[in-house]
Structure 1
């Protein structure tokens, strides 16, 4: 983004790619869990994978279930069930962790009486609570949705976790090999991501944990000010992390994504989703998706067909962007996301 010019947006065939980049966790082939929209199954999480962004519905994806089969007949053999679901019903598949029944084990602590757990039943994960510990690493689990108890082996259970703003809650326990944290629970660092105002922000403990989705700021020539989605692989030193980018390739035409070490001061949590249906107004603060990253800008002019001319103060460039290529600008301040007033 150099020189004062207006760069026209790419033609419509790139629309599905833009939608995929706007949700970097949900690339084609990504393993996910899908919340059922069916009322009697509400709250159940089914394993599946992303096939492609929806061509018909914004912020939706075509998914293929791992455990559900489409109706079949004599002319058409059974096959995995596919459907389009909104992004709000998707979350990444949680990392595997080895639970060890009633006692401590290699993957961390075992299950305990009263634990909130997910139990694998009828092809999906159902939320419940352990009400009784049995022999041979078996447990009774109570499901509030049906007001009944069932017996499960430890291998059929996992601790219940929620996916909140790009992080697992509660977070997964580190294996103790990612750095020098005493408690292995994440990194508490001092970040200087607010240099425009001269503020120094403190990152909340647990934000920068293994597997967390973050955004990384580039200082490379021509990329200053751009934020790129990435996943934390592990911590390599105090205030330094090894990350894998979600959209940047290691080399041109490579199928592998770029990995590198970055300082915590160049990272921030991935912003929460903000869906804007109405057109942006003039002078709105936005981030524009361009060259695989998000660039801070201002809507300079509202055009026809849900397009805008956006001005980038940092580079003094202007670019025409479609509504789907923009998101509301947010700043990470004192452990919270803040929108400009």
Structure 2
């Protein structure tokens, strides 16, 4: 636990938990969202990136005094770089490699679950910064208007569940209007939420005592390098389905927002298009862990043989669904067991609609070991 807390830039309190910290935000849908939590991103040692580990911000050049209004960054699971407003209580300088410098802060909007009082925690200086100044003419369109005028795919932060969460704008009014909504998409939760403009701000980083526009949404990086995509790349996108479980849809990278998150487009046979009568085109903003390259695998005969017990992916209603061959039906046709959300599904597939099942960890493929049919 100590190592995990240090990696997050804070020390966990002995008896306090954060009230109000919730991963879910309550959502509307932009494209198609999963109906249950997707598999977690690969852990340390199973991914690949131009830079590894947490993207650690620079510590403020000067020590922040007691009473200073600040923001603190939480990198733990479910938060991944969310900034929470706080006030500095004290600062303890480093006393050697095993006793690093730490700020003690109290949160502005979070309470101690134990007694309902102020929640105090400790953070590394790299995860404490002054609160950003109010909107200025350099934000948005640069006309000094409030609320700022946002544009499609602007990198922003939205105040939600007591913290500032990173995302991109997917819909905004053409002119500043405090009554209109700014809709923001979040890559880790796949949620798309409309916000009042007053709780959305351009995302900025505090560098050498100055605030500069940020070009990245995802700040907590995998331990190792992961595959980087570019616009036009053919990929597959994972999403949960009621009937066929977690499945992979053929997709195309529409835009790289940063090197860890992307806007993708794909067709969903469960959704009707705008004109009706055909598959709907889904557009989503996604974290890299929901994406894999579109690759045709040619395993060695010693690795894969199509027959009972073979781990495969079956093409079902527009997407590839993992399953296991249960029996041979006839020449070139197989019965496959697919784990649906509510029940197992048995589907009959010809060999052209089956392929070996592989796992992608962000960098490498690994074939799934076949199961033994008794």
| TM-score class normalised by the smaller sequence | 0.3 to 0.5
Structure showing greater relative contact order (alpha-carbon pairs closer than 8 Å, 6 or more residues apart) = 2
TM-score by length of structure 1 reads 0.39
Q: When the two structures are superposed, what TM-score results if normalisation uses the length of structure 2?
A: 0.35
